[in-house]
Structure 1
């Protein structure tokens, strides 16, 4: 329930923030890239500290406080919009505050997967962890879908009502996540400074070939795929001239694809070779990016976004499952934060690059280059070998 609540608020934010920038503040493509990057750039500074904090303190308490902080951010924008005209600096400040709170929420919330996967004896099996990861992804994508459906009513309901929904949902999620707290202090490594804890986590990732290669691949995915998605998709929607409803439809098609892929993984499991599955998702992403760069029809773009969502969800689920299984318990939050740092930190840089390229050339050209780079990355990682050799036994893969 808490995971779904935070995801619903994120689904609203994904639509509202760029649409505010394009329609209310009337920003060009380059400045839209700045706005999208402002949400992601704080991950470069605070995400690793968020992982260290969640390893030192109860992650349920950390995630609950982060949800409360997000609710305050949306409340502040609601109050400002009620009395003043929104500007680029205000949206930048709003995005930065959202990014800071999200940096502390993500590793703490994902660490609760292990706690939720425990049986009555307090143990978490590898099969249970994989299944719980998939359930949490379903809660995440389902919540985002509901949020995007609400955001599609932007033209009818207005910004104030939708910001009010975000505040209420996040306050409820904060209470729900706090209910998962455990009594007693966390004892491990309390004497170490935050930067020492972060360096220990980085060392754990570096010395494990699979985690090292997976983290590098996620950094590429963030820069090329998420960065392009955040900037180019709203620009394409605006070019089609269909308003916020069409942009929300594209986002909903993407989320519908994620739900389909997640339900499929829930029924069939993640397979015995999740690393090979991640590589194939990279190849499929390249094909989809090149297809979109050819300029599909309005319906064709919706269908391609559906396929893109399915591929993205499969890749994310397989990657998160590998991290949950291979990360040592004492370092889990830090390794999760490093994984997310690579993904979302590079996405901030990718959003800036996509904004610049789209302004200089065209959004479709940006998609074409992203597809070409994805093909090159697939060839490189396929011949590297560490990730594609990951294997899970039959009893764990279901």
Structure 2
């Protein structure tokens, strides 16, 4: 793996270092935020849902604007500024914690600020993958694009795994140390991404208003049956799967009577599954029919959710989280590969932002729904309903057929296209 990394273009190495740095900070955040809510502030399930949703809800407002901005300005510069913004958010909480006790309003304000910065980071950062790998839209082979996306995902999941390992030391190191690590890593990631910027010639469509750019991107997605169906499926995954994962998993960990280390272990098992699946795709490729793979991942997710709802042992829950992570990574990699291949260069950031808007915007609503349901019913009941709904979604998308029939050879986009074919 190290030899493969050294053989990469220098720009791709810098991109992956920056991407893994932002992911490491995210891995820390995934553990720290809910654990602060449950153990430091002692919040119930419903309020935990609000805290988790506070990070995701800004996606409903800012993510599409983030995609439009990255298409108008150099995405390397946009992602750099977003990293600096995230570092400032963690610095503010660090200073506040040194002087005051953290409360629910402070956590929600912190989560909202993180969500705003992340909404501008995600589409701009993902748009850099083809530039960093020296891939010219319309000229590169589809397999090369898929491989670049898989490397990007490996950097993401590997960085998150390291962040979660650090977060598992919460009880020994304390919150202040871990927040300081987040700040330092994000500043290093900002420096790496800043080196990828290009000249003023990358500015596109400056004279057009943001809402017009967003509408153009939505039109592109709507016109293409595969993108339309994939986006709808991602909205379902965000609402049902991510929403449940964010709220129910920490509740299960607390219900087992374990500390932050066990919750971090569950998260690490999930991320370990994502790394295993991503390395497998890197070696074997994503296959000629990625849409069919996305559908099968939905079916596997439904089975895993129902299995967890049966109340496994502590070790059993860790193993199921490992499998869940592998399925989630395969689904994400296949879906993002389709988006990278289908999106024309002039619309790429906007289509990426719409894809992520569907996923993370609905996840905010799903976290609220999971918090409400878990407040008045058992968390295991929430998982059972999520599994049943996933089976229904699988049947509906399979019958529709657009995503099921898509082939990699059909996923070609040329720069300057006015519409996705």
User: What 5-or-longer segments of structure 2 have no aligned partner?
Assistant: 1-16, 413-421
- Aligned partner of 2:275 in structure 1 is 259
- Aligned partner of 1:51 in structure 2 is 67
1:81 to 1:303, Cα distance in 2 relative to 1, 3 A: same
Residue pairs, 1:56-135, within 5 angstroms:
56-118=72-134, 124-135=140-151
Q: Secondary structure at the match of 1:85?
A: coil
1:180 to 1:123, Cα distance in 2 relative to 1, 3 A: farther
Q: Secondary structure at the match of 2:43?
A: coil
CA RMSD across the alignment: 1.6
Q: Secondary structure at the match of 1:108?
A: helix
Deviation of the 1:117 alpha carbon: 2.3
- Aligned partner of 2:266 in structure 1 is 250
Deviation of the 1:392 alpha carbon: 1.9
- Aligned partner of 2:306 in structure 1 is 290
Instruction: Give the Cα–Cα distance (whole angstroms) in 1 for the partners of residues 358 and 152 of structure 2.
Output: 21
Cα shift readout 1:348-397 (whole Å, capped 9, x = no counterpart): 00000000000010100000000000000000000001000111249x9x
Instruction: Give the Cα–Cα distance (whole angstroms) in 2 for the partners of residues 100 and 119 of structure 1.
Output: 30
1:114/1:124 contact within 8 Å kept:
no
Deviation of the 1:188 alpha carbon: 2.8
Instruction: Give the Cα–Cα distance (whole angstroms) in 2 for the partners of residues 286 and 21 of structure 1.
Output: 28
Residue 235 of structure 2 corresponds to residue 219 of structure 1: yes
- Aligned partner of 1:196 in structure 2 is 212
Larger mean Cα displacement after TM superposition, 345-354 or 189-198? 189-198
1:385 to 1:302, Cα distance in 2 relative to 1, 3 A: same
- Aligned partner of 2:345 in structure 1 is 329
Cα shift readout 1:29-80 (whole Å, capped 9, x = no counterpart): 0000000000000000000000000000000000000000000000000000
Residue pairs, 1:1-398, within 5 angstroms:
1-118=17-134, 124-393=140-409
Deviation of the 1:254 alpha carbon: 0.1
Q: Secondary structure at the match of 2:42?
A: coil
- Aligned partner of 2:418 in structure 1 is none
2:71/2:203 contact within 8 Å kept:
no
How many residue pairs were aligned?
A: 396
1:71/1:166 contact within 8 Å kept:
yes
User: What 5-or-longer segments of structure 1 have no aligned partner?
Assistant: none
Larger mean Cα displacement after TM superposition, 188-197 or 310-319? 188-197
Instruction: Give the Cα–Cα distance (whole angstroms) in 1 for the partners of residues 137 and 123 of structure 2.
Output: 25
Instruction: Give the Cα–Cα distance (whole angstroms) in 2 for the partners of residues 315 and 181 of structure 1.
Output: 30
2:130/2:136 contact within 8 Å kept:
no
Cα shift readout 1:86-124 (whole Å, capped 9, x = no counterpart): 000000000000000000000000000110221699964
Instruction: Give the Cα–Cα distance (whole angstroms) in 2 for the partners of residues 156 and 255 of structure 1.
Output: 22
Instruction: Give the Cα–Cα distance (whole angstroms) in 1 for the partners of residues 351 and 396 of structure 2.
Output: 24
Larger mean Cα displacement after TM superposition, 292-301 or 175-184? 175-184
Deviation of the 1:126 alpha carbon: 2.3
Q: Secondary structure at the match of 1:86?
A: coil
Cα shift readout 1:251-291 (whole Å, capped 9, x = no counterpart): 00000000000000000000010000000000000000000
1:111/1:332 contact within 8 Å kept:
yes
Instruction: Give the Cα–Cα distance (whole angstroms) in 2 for the partners of residues 377 and 179 of structure 1.
Output: 43
2:302/2:386 contact within 8 Å kept:
yes
Q: Secondary structure at the match of 1:169?
A: helix
Instruction: Give the Cα–Cα distance (whole angstroms) in 1 for the partners of residues 254 and 298 of structure 2.
Output: 27
1:249 to 1:136, Cα distance in 2 relative to 1, 3 A: same
Deviation of the 1:127 alpha carbon: 2.2
Instruction: Give the Cα–Cα distance (whole angstroms) in 2 for the partners of residues 32 and 329 of structure 1.
Output: 39
